[in-house]
Amino acid sequence: MLRPVYAGRGFFIFGRCDVEDLVSAILIAVFGFVAVLLAVIPSLMIKARRDKLRKYLYETEAEVIDIRQERFKTGYDYGPHTRLFVPVFRYYAGGQEIIHHSRVGTSENIYSIGQRVPVRVDPYDPRKFVLVNSKPHKLATGILYAISAFFLLATIASALILNRFG
């Protein structure tokens, strides 16, 4: 198999390539792809959230009126980590009381009943809102960025190790 080999002055010539080089190149490409993908996902999440914060102009406070405990649908019971705490919010917008059952839960209870949190509401559809300071959102994007950094470092380390010892 032919592979490009640097010949100086920006030119490459083609030489022989063995299977190990091909496997190494594929491994580096996969790690790099995963790193980029895991960096793009939280970036898109942040962009979507910022767009909602700009679009949803009406700001009010929502009160946590209930915290439901739900279980993961894993088929197995692994203990307390299969439990999610899911808040239920009440707020007033457009002259009406709105009860919102969140679809986002956390493994630790981060809200308390009666707690007030700032929200922005869609003026065209008051049932839609976004939390101004969302702890679950910050946690999720932070974890995805950390995993992306791990894969990026693994990609760089693999390339350096294979270049040095390969």
Express each pLDDT in 101-137 by its tens digit: 887 777 788 889 999 999 999 988 888 888 888 887 7
With b for 16 or more beta-carbon neighbours within 10 A and e for fewer, the 129-151 pattern comes to: bbbeeeeebeebbeebbebbeeb
- Annotated domain spans of the chain: 2-42+144-165, 57-127
- pLDDT tens, position by position, 10-37: 544 455 556 666 777 788 888 888 888 8
Q: What band does 89 get if pLDDT is binned at 50, 70 and 90? A: very high
Q: Which amino acid is at 22?
A: L
Entry pTM:
0.63
